Chain A
Amino acid sequence: MHELWITALFNRFLAGPATAVLNAIHYPAQDPRNPWTDWMVCEIIVVLFVVVFFAFLRTRLSVQTPGKAQHLFEVVYEFIHASAEEVVGHEGARYVPFFGTIFLFILSLNLIGLIPGFDSPTMYPMVPLGFAVATFFFYHSTGFREHGPGYLKQFLGPILWLAFLMLPIEIISHFARPLSLTVRLFANMFAGEQVYLTFITLTKVIVPVIFIGLHLFVALLQAYIFMLLAMIYVGGAVAHEH
């Protein structure tokens, strides 16, 4: 696939460090002269932008005279906090950092694809896979932290003598969760891009704009859904049977 201009820049100047890092983890690049991939470069750009932006915003926070950005992000935070409390339960506020990171990072990665010179990293299957695996380990670790080793009793089902039936079903369904999270996010972003390309070649003007609008809506929705499903899984893991 044709390389982005920014990936070409990275490959020209930073190919040495990239090759060194990849060789250190025994995973050599597919094309040794161009070790940087489109999705890695765009992810790093998003991370740098987000870190710099929020570091700058942090210095501008004020209780008496909040600025516009502060208002906007207070609304976003309140939304995430309220959703977490509603879906996870009373202790949901503890996990808001993870949910907020998931939501804002996936949203930024989805939206950067709309800018002409950049690509959505979530369009490549490995990036949603990373998010899904991270969520998988996160919700199991919250379960272990809440219940201790007794967390595993959840997989045996309500009635003890049916455990031999419930255990394979529960294991399969728990492993299907990261798969479905990955495929949902990847396929939505990839299909959005493909549809846009198809309509650019079919009808050069006006109709692709409608599909960009649809892709924007889907990007927002998919980020929200990833966060919501992560909350539901955490809620299921820390639930106390009363």
Chain B
Amino acid sequence: MKKKLMMVATTLLALASPMFAQGTKGTASADYRLAAAYIAMGIAAGLCGIGQGRATASASEAMARNPGAIAAIRVALILGLVLIESLALYTLVITFVATK
């Protein structure tokens, strides 16, 4: 499974080489910045999704086990989700700054 993933990743990165032929979008360093910004945002959004999924799963299970504490768990869940979300948003702001 791991070998397959490595092969897929290498193929995708090699397929991106036509990017070097672009001349219309400004200098080459601007292209690298754009590519890095896209990859960074993708990684940030993916990991944020994993984190929020775990938070929601554990909050749902806690609410199912202890229906009396639903209000308190809901507050903790919302707070946790927003704090995790803000990490992905920091990356978004950095991509705006880097590709200015």
- Report A's interface with B, CB cutoff 8 A: 180, 183-184, 186-188, 191, 221-222, 224-225, 228
Contacts and interface: CB of A to CB of B under 8 A. Distances in A.
A186 B86 CA distance: 10
A228 B89 CA distance: 19
Contact of A225 (B79, B92, B93): B79
Nearest to B89: A187
B89 A191 contact: yes
Contacts of B13: none
A132 to B, nearest CB: 13
Contacts, number: 30
B82 interface: yes
B90 interface: yes
A216 to B, nearest CB: 16
B78 interface: yes
Contacts of B82: 184, 221-222, 225
Interface in B41-87: 75, 78-79, 82, 85-86
B79 A183 contact: no
Contact of B79 (A180, A186, A187, A228): A228
State the 3 A-B residue pairs at the shortest beta-carbon distance, nearest first: A187-B89, A184-B86, A225-B82
Chain B contact-residue range equals: 10 to 19
- Chief secondary structure at chain B's binding surface: helix
A188 B79 CA distance: 15
A183 B93 contact: yes
Contacts of B93: 183, 186-187
B89 A183 contact: yes
A183 B78 contact: no
Interface string B26-52: 000000000000000000000000000
A222 B79 CA distance: 10
A188 B89 contact: yes
A225 B78 contact: yes
A180 to B, nearest CB: 6
6 contacts: A180-B86, A183-B86, A188-B85, A191-B89, A225-B78, A228-B75
A188 B78 CA distance: 15
